[in-house]
Chains A and B, each alone.
Chain A
């Protein structure tokens, strides 16, 4: 019976114990982390980790290298900040609104960009993101280069005040783990198998009768929505939304996070994101002002070394050693 099904269409790949263990270890580490590290920093790092994971869904599993994901991350941050500050919505509705808006935006952007492949696809996403950046610069509600400040964190479900950094952290952790599980579920569903098939050999997927474009579009929309969830959460954590999140360098940074951690792995983007966010913090801490002047140079050197030494990314390299998917 199962064989018959398998012959008919793609099935969900069976979850592997190693991935579960990696996930459980990650969740456990993150749950105790605020006792050792600064919770506000951790919460921001988790937002970036979710962003990188959402991006990885697109590039790692569907093989689509978007160069415009800052549009979704930053766009959601603006929507969340506006909705929470000006309209006074509670945090859970704020996040839903930001995610939904950006998911729709992702479908529009995706519909335009997936018509082309490879570098042309990347360029169209970049162009759309730049358009978004200049819209954010001009429209009145984003307040130009000043950004939106003093966004209230509000009370979760009208009960739990999120003002305390540690409470906020656990809220972010729950959002993050839900996001990660959603990605895990998508990747290991029949839909995910088709995405991987498209990544490996698109003409063959077409010849097998799959409507490749609709699969790609769905993947783009999902990735955008999850990136939006990350951006909206970040706006609540930092209580602000600014142009930095919309700038093309943010699109570059997320590529870096995924490449550093390991493309097409579940935990890789998370580790990569934490790594990228932590480097300036660490450099700020160990070095005085003379050292800080060299911050960007040191950062660049670390990345070059990582890319040369770990071609599959940090987690990708470990996974290859262990011959497991992590």
Chain B
């Protein structure tokens, strides 16, 4: 009798084990952990994913959610190597963040081959929902189209009807300039000139002086990272914003403003899809984030995107009961409307584009800033249906026309 009882217990234990083993979902955060974008994503992205896992309530429903993290060093081969290994050795069902467009495009291909899920928050290239869209990926936070459209449209409408561009002399800069030019023209503005600067340019003085003498109302910086920071710093030295011209940085993050400091960055206008100080919900999320953050930093829009995307992903996985079929999970995610504290209510389009409003922010002056991280004010809201590239212009093969 005892033996039978024991065997019964053993059997029971085994079945629960087997049952528990089935309900496992593994989230992989692949990001720039030590390079130029480490403050935009990095450790903060891991924290955001952890917050989403904790708040998803999946643990209470019998799920085991695991989190792995890796630094791709902004190298495509390192990123693809990690992604393949995670999938081949069963360490991840979903990859989030990535930041670097080159890495994101490469990872997207692997995810498609292995039928997993890719939730891109950090990479900017709008190709991810265009030519390179796949049934396994969602582009969550922003893209180059949204940046050009947000900053270009709102600033032109607000009276900035003449533009001068300082453009990084390669594909990304030119695409950003081209998209913004189209938006400016469509809203009755005019581009009076442009100047190209090489990548990783240390001295923007000649470009800035040309921009200053053009008398354009807005100087558009179609560049990123260190180039934007250098141009903004030197623009402050030349007193460009004090002279009445407005500076529009087409790609800049909250962490960049924090690094530049308000005296340098003041007056700068930029587009985001999440700012921590928008409303009570965004503040509540930001507070939870900064309490757990070592530097007590507020989340960037990329980190907020990681939180929001992981939360929605876990909901879909719970509804389906299994994370194995990546395309099915993504289809479920697209079919379900999104709702979270960081981005509010939203939806995901068939091309994998997450839809939510965008905001044009202006960096405050040091005098306007009342409390820590009080860096910007909202000067325009771009409604969700206008913020992103319309489906009719999409090159994505998934879109049926």
Given contacts A165-B88, A289-B69, A296-B34, contact A146 B105 (CB under 8 A): yes
C-alpha spacing A284/B73, complex, angstroms: 10
Q: Is the CB of B77 within 8 A of A289?
A: no
Q: Is the CB of B171 within 8 A of A145?
A: yes
C-alpha spacing A184/B377, complex, angstroms: 66
Given contacts A145-B171, A238-B81, contact A137 B75 (CB under 8 A): no
C-alpha spacing A270/B43, complex, angstroms: 33
Q: Is the CB of A244 within 8 A of B43?
A: no
**A interface, how many residues as a size bin?**
20 to 34
Q: Is the CB of B75 within 8 A of A244?
A: yes
C-alpha spacing A151/B287, complex, angstroms: 44
Chain B residues with CB under 8 Å of A191's CB are: none
Contact count A vs B, C-beta below 8 Å: 109
Q: Is the CB of B43 within 8 A of A290?
A: yes
Q: Is the CB of A146 within 8 A of B125?
A: yes
| A135 to B: closest C-beta gap in Å | 11
C-alpha spacing A240/B81, complex, angstroms: 12
| A85 to B: closest C-beta gap in Å | 11
| A234 to B: closest C-beta gap in Å | 7
Q: Does A90 contact B (CB under 8 A)?
A: no
Q: Is the CB of A289 within 8 A of B42?
A: yes
Chain B residues with CB under 8 Å of A289's CB are: 29, 33, 42-43, 46, 69, 71
Interchain CB contact (< 8 A) of A244 among B76, B81, B89, B169: B76
C-alpha spacing A288/B45, complex, angstroms: 13
Q: Is the CB of B171 within 8 A of A144?
A: yes
Closest to B45 in A: A289
| B306 to A: closest C-beta gap in Å | 12
C-alpha spacing A234/B78, complex, angstroms: 12
Q: Does B127 contact A (CB under 8 A)?
A: yes
7 nearest CB pairs, A to B: A144-B171, A292-B33, A292-B71, A289-B43, A150-B109, A238-B77, A242-B76
Q: Mind listing 29 A-B residue pairs with CB under 8 Å?
A: A38-B89, A134-B198, A137-B170, A143-B171, A145-B102, A146-B101, A146-B125, A146-B127, A146-B171, A149-B108, A149-B109, A149-B132, A238-B106, A239-B80, A239-B106, A240-B80, A242-B102, A280-B73, A280-B78, A288-B46, A290-B43, A292-B33, A292-B34, A292-B69, A293-B33, A293-B34, A294-B34, A295-B33, A296-B34
